[in-house]
Structures are given as C-alpha cells and as structure tokens.
C-alpha cells in the first residue's frame, strides 16, 4: 500500500499541475508567464511540503499521520475546485501586472494542495525504512515509483483527462482519489474522512449542475480542449443599434472572434475587414490559405461571396491548431460543411514547413492577444516559408497586434523586417488609429512577392459594393519608414514573446 500510495500521489500531483494551466487560463491567459508561475509555485510548495513532511514524520510516525497528509491533499484539491474561480477573479481584479497576477493566482489556487502533496513521499519513506543498511535502496525505490507515477500523470492529464473532462471535474476527481487513499492507508476512525469524501462528492455533483445552469442563464459556454479554454458569450452591441452578437475568447479581456447573430457571414471586428485588401489587390484569386481559423469569420465571408472574388471557383484551406475551435464554430458560429473548404488541424508553422502548394492569397491570423504570440510564426525562417506559399502575382496579409513606432512597436518591427527580407514589398495598415502609430493596435501587413505592385483602381460599385470601405482601408496605410532599431529574429534566437511582454509593462 505504501508503494502504491507513492505511485498514485506522484501521478495525481502531475494531473493537478497539468490542469492548473487550464484553471488559470480564463484569468491570466496561457502565455509562458502563466506556465512559469504555475510550475514555480507548485515546485516551491512541494519543496516546503517535503520539508514539513519530514519533520512531521520524525515527530509523529504512524499510518494515521500519513492518512492526515493524504486527507490534507484531498481537502486542498477540493477547496481548489470549489474556490478557484472566485480566487482567480479576485486576483486579476486586484493586481494589474500580469507577472504578479499569475504568481498570486497560482499561489492562491494551488499552494495548499501542492504543500500536502509534498509531505507524502518523505512521510512514506520514513514509514518504510527498516534499517540503515537498506535505507538507500528504499529511498531510491520510492522516489523511482513517485517519478514513474508523475510520468503517468503527465501523459494521463495532458493527453486524456483534459481532452474529455472539464478542469473543475478533474480537480474534484483528484480530491476524491486522495481521500480514498487516505482511508486505505489509515482505516481506523474513518468517519470524519468519510464525511469529507461524501461532502466532496456532493459538491462535485452540485458544481456540475450549477455550471450547466450558469451557462444557460449567462449565455456563456465553456469548452476546454488540450490547447485552449474557449468561452463563447452572447450579448448586444450598442454601437450597432443593439444587435445581438456572439463572441469567442481564449484569453482574459480579449475576444478572438465575433459574429452578428442576424448576419453570420459579415465581418464583425474592424481588423478582419482589412482582409478585403487581399481580394482588392488580387481580384482573380482562386486559392486561399487561412492560417488561424478562430471563429471562422473570414472563411465564412469568403465562401459567402462577399469578398468580391468568384466564390463558386474558390478553394479555401484553413489551418487551425485546435479541433475544439472548429467544433465550437460549427456549433455556435454558423460554420457549415462546404466542398470548397478544407480544414487542417495542426500548427501553422508545421503545416508551412511541410506543404508544397502555392496560393493566390495567404491570410495569417494567429494572435490570441497582444501578449500571447506564437513566436514560431514571427521569425525569418517562418517568413521564408510564407513566401514559398504565395503564388506569383499573389499576396500575403498578416494581422499583428502591436504599435508601429516607439518601444511598444518592437514586436511589429521584428516581424516586419522578417517579412521584408523574404518579400519584395511589405505595406503596413493601422486598423485602429492611423493617426497614432505609437499606440498598440491591430496592424495589417500586406506583402507582395514581386516589386512594383501598385494599388488597383476602385472597382465598379456593382462589382464590389464594399469598394468605398476598402478605399478607407487603403488610406490607413502607414506612410513613414519603419524604424530599423529592432532586428528580424531567427528560430535559434526568437524571443518574439519578449517584445510582446514589453507591452504589458506600460
């Protein structure tokens, strides 16, 4: 039983840590900062728990003491499952700095269960050691079992549990398993722990019912996948005469996709409308590659024939990392099966490295927020692969969240110079405030594989009813030279996220 306890507790603590990233995502996002904070906090609490567990074993060595440590871990997981939303909301509302908020949220949510998990292995070792002559073998065997359990828990949590269960349900499951282990190791006087076990089971059941009720009442749906914590929310847009709108978000404070419920094929966000610059410059485009599907707003707009392209002859390939994002788009954002549409569920960079086809238009929209940047898509090597994917006479459009000028523009300038090294010409359009290029906003980069391309004349209104709007977009072009203070970065040295994180300090 002691060996089994060490193995299972090692597995469950890693399940706790793997699901921790999903628990923190709605409050502080999923960036490297969040994972660094989570891992650091859990390791610190495990170390503190190991120190306390060793001292506790020297003073009170019994199976009852082990049962108390196991029950403490179960109780800590139960409290985490019950309170993590309230703690996360409180921390993010009270702490404005992402670094401090991520550490504080990880501490407030995971410190208690991680501390008790840390106590278990030292206590079991002290119980199992029979003499000095075999102490080394005993310690090595138990640590090996704990590590083997952690390996199993890592794959079980990351590959299986997160794919099929919600994070709160997994936390309740870990709590129940630890309480059962406590009862198995110390069956004497079980009633307090049995009551605690029954209470956790009841709260887990009520939490499931409450989650369903809250989703129905608030109009918010939560979908958890191995890649994202996806929230789908309904509301009204007062700026558009109170029209009903549906939003999709994966990071706190930002929406990645939006849709007007009475016009699902229209482009809702301002920056998505700038993709109309592609059909304007390549009016004969027949093949389109979209890297980053999100809520599939742009693909639906293209397939509906509202871009000015020949929709019947169009062939569209969308590369979206998360299958759950596509499933949510089919369920709530009006995405339908279409023979003209091909969806690939894989990383955009991996797709570019492997594929050989060339496209008339390549659209890139892989940012989740201004601090959640897929750095592998912003390097010189990525720019070369993007250039290889653009057919002669075609064009690339890439959405970047950054400033153009000043210290907040380092992210943009790094990506711009990478594209400029691979393409013959790169133009920049400021979506939000063309008159304030020093402000963080959506920027649309338009790149051509050949030099000497000129802006096309305005099409006839009958051919493109949105021509006037596109003319306004063309007028938002950044006229000044792009500063050269920030170099393009390679895969070997790609701290693109560092430039993005600099924006958070302002």
Q: Which two structure tokens, joined as six digits, stand for 422?
A: 């691979």
- How far, in Å, CA of 114 to CA of 178, rounded? 12
Q: Which two structure tokens, joined as six digits, stand for 160?
A: 């299986």
For 244-251, the CB contacts below 8 A with 24+ separation are 246/332, 246/333, 248/294, 248/295, 248/325, 248/328, 248/329, 248/332, 248/333, 250/25, 250/30, 250/368, 251/25, 251/29, 251/30, 251/368, 251/369, 251/372
CA distances from 132 to 54, 139, 494 (A): 17, 11, 51
Q: Maximum CA pair distance of the chain? A: 92
Nearest Cα to 297, choosing from 314, 272, 278, 274? 272
CB 106 within 8 A of CB 91: no
- How far, in Å, CA of 365 to CA of 315, rounded? 18
Among residues 251, 365, 408, 464, which one is catalytic? 365
- How far, in Å, CA of 4 to CA of 193, rounded? 20
Dihedral Cα 38, 506, 269, 327, nearest 10 deg: -10
Q: Which two structure tokens, joined as six digits, stand for 321?
A: 């990392």
Look up 365 and say whether it is catalytic: yes
CB 17 within 8 A of CB 200: no
Q: Which residues sit opposite 363 in a β-bridge?
A: 290, 397
List alpha helices for 186-251, DSSP H. Answer: 191-218
Nearest Cα to 430, choosing from 439, 443, 420? 443
Angle between helices 32-59 and 98-128 (to 10 degrees): 30
Q: Which two structure tokens, joined as six digits, stand for 173?
A: 């499951």
- How far, in Å, CA of 205 to CA of 169, rounded? 9
- Please count the helices (runs of H) and the strands (runs of E) in the chain: 17, 11
Nearest Cα to 230, choosing from 153, 298, 331? 331
- How far, in Å, CA of 201 to CA of 205, rounded? 6
Rg (alpha carbons) of the chain, rounded to whole number: 27
Q: Which residues contact 186 (CB under 8 A, 6 or more apart)?
A: 63, 64, 66, 67, 68, 70
What positions carry a catalytic annotation? Answer: 365
């Amino acid at each position: 039983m002691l060996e089994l306890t060490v193995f299972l507790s090692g597995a469950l603590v890693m399940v706790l840590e793997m699901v921790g990233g999903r628990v923190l995502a709605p409050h502080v996002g999923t960036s490297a900062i969040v994972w660094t904070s989570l891992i650091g906090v859990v390791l610190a609490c495990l170390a503190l728990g190991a120190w306390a567990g060793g001292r506790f074993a020297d003073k009170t060595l019994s199976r009852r003491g082990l049962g108390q440590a196991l029950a403490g871990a179960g109780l800590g997981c139960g409290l985490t499952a019950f309170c993590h939303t309230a703690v996360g909301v409180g921390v993010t509302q009270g702490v404005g700095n992402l670094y401090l908020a991520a550490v504080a949220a990880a501490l407030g949510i995971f410190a208690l269960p991680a501390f008790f998990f840390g106590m278990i292995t030292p206590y079991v070792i002290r119980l199992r050691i029979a003499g000095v002559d075999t102490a080394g073998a005993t310690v090595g065997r138990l640590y090996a079992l704990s590590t083997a359990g952690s390996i199993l828990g890592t794959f079980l949590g990351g590959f299986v549990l997160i794919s099929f269960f919600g994070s709160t349900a997994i936390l309740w499951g870990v709590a129940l398993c630890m309480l059962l282990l406590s009862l198995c190791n110390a069956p004497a006087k079980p009633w307090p722990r049995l009551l605690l076990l029954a209470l956790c089971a009841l709260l887990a059941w009520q939490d499931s019912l409450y989650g369903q009720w809250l989703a129905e009442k608030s109009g918010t749906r939560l979908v958890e996948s191995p890649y994202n914590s996806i929230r789908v929310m309904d509301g009204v847009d007062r700026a558009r005469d109170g029209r009903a709108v549906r939003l999709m978000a994966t990071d706190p404070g930002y929406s990645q996709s939006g849709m007007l419920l009475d016009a699902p094929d229209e482009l809702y966000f301002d920056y998505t409308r700038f993709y109309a610059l592609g059909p304007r410059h390549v009016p004969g485009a027949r093949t389109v590659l979209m890297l980053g599907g999100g809520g599939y707003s742009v693909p639906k707009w293209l397939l509906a024939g509202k871009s000015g392209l020949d929709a019947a002859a169009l062939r569209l390939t969308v590369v979206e990392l998360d299958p759950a994002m596509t499933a949510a788009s089919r369920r709530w954002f009006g995405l339908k099966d279409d023979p003209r549409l091909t969806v690939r569920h894989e990383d955009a960079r991996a797709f570019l490295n492997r594929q050989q086809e060339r496209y008339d238009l390549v659209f890139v929209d892989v940012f989740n927020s201004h601090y959640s940047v897929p750095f592998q898509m912003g390097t010189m090597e990525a720019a070369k692969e993007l250039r290889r994917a653009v057919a002669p006479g075609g064009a690339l459009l890439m959405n970047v969240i950054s400033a153009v000028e000043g210290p907040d523009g380092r992210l943009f300038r790094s990506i711009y110079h990478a594209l400029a090294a691979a393409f013959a010409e790169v133009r920049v359009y400021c979506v939000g405030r063309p008159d304030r290029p020093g402000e963080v906003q959506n920027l649309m980069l338009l790149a051509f594989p050949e030099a000497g391309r000129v802006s096309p004349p305005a099409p006839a209104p009958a051919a493109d009813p949105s021509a006037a709007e596109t003319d306004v977009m063309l007028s938002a072009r950044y006229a000044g030279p792009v500063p050269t203070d920030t170099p393009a970065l390679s895969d070997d040295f790609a701290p693109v996220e560092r430039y993005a994180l600099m924006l958070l300090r302002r």
